[in-house]
Chain A
């Protein structure tokens, strides 16, 4: 049993050491995750329903979050966005009636990337720029708005479709930024 523990410990150690090497290549992985996520978002449901157009709301994504000159802040901001999107899509989706497999793959992809970053974040906590907190709070506010919107509409079809379109727009913005990194 101790041998099993040693094995697990070694595997964990190897996993953490390999993931710490991936910190430098986060943009490449993030790009792949975003590409994949966009494809799956499209595959999940059909075209945006016409009847939901009048319910459309402007959430005002804080684009300045993706603009700072420091690459590190942008990378961490992107990881936070993944975490928020992961959270939103874990809610009650029965009324949305989307493709379950595509949704599962979408969530799994985001989760994989979040796990990978955790090692990097722990290492880089000392470099974390507190001055960018204002931007991070704006980001949290943005996702809070979407969450409240979904709750108010009781997670009906239109609220989900509007949220999905909003997330799509958000990921496309990140995609543009990450290609420049």
Chain B
């Protein structure tokens, strides 16, 4: 009994430590906490900080666009800059921050309401009726002035998904914000975040002319070795981890040096350089850590990679009945013979239709009888074959049929 209890205790302790480690890593991968210093974006960081500092401290108006593909760290960069900026005492009590998102503020009215709310001016505006957007905005900015004319508070406008604001009617919001930033009124900084490289072409001429044409491009020029370093850093436990022995053991595992792991990472790196996809890969791997195997092993990563890179439609095929599979195969052959021409069916195949593996061709003009509606196969040749290979207990003659060259 005694040895049993001790064993249990050891197990629980171990459990505890490993769960803790897992929790810590998952938080790191999931919560998108701001890093202490943005990786590989030093010059952009400096530029951005200087720009916003000018507005916040010296009251110079500015406008800038941060452009970069999804997951390239635009929001992270801005977050870091704002964190540093707000740590200055004079800035903290003086600067106002307004954050808008193109996905949320879908038109200028909503945006204006949101600006009012974020500036805490609802009570000032009350139930005034404004004739125009510009007046309303001017009123808001006016309300921010602290008594005397020369010392109005700087306002930072952050427009996430900037390109969506360009679709608002007449681009009134942008026109007015940029116009304020061009004329010596309240000091404002307009920071736009977007992933569209052609965002300037979306702006109307008069809006474009008022934009300062400062763009900060974020393209990650990370090399593979740097990428692996990041993985290592992401997976290592911090020095203040409660169980030093465990963390030491964890940190010294030679996971990243493993050949297969490196291959997986390279594959992922080739796919995309952004950290979001990396995080989701690592997250899956870390989730597999349990009491029974308390360290991260290459098998975990391989499994995670398999899950992530699995073809979604091939997965769906696995769930089909033999009959439905036959249909698919028939269609595949049709596709091969007639080189992708649309085909029709006299059979019922609603299920396939529901799964969107086949889809009717849009016939805008006339209603065709249901049986004769033209259909398209939404599967690649390889996908079908792969699914067939993996299909549990697939009749061999079906497989044969699929492999044969003729329908």
Q: Do A and B come from one complex?
A: no
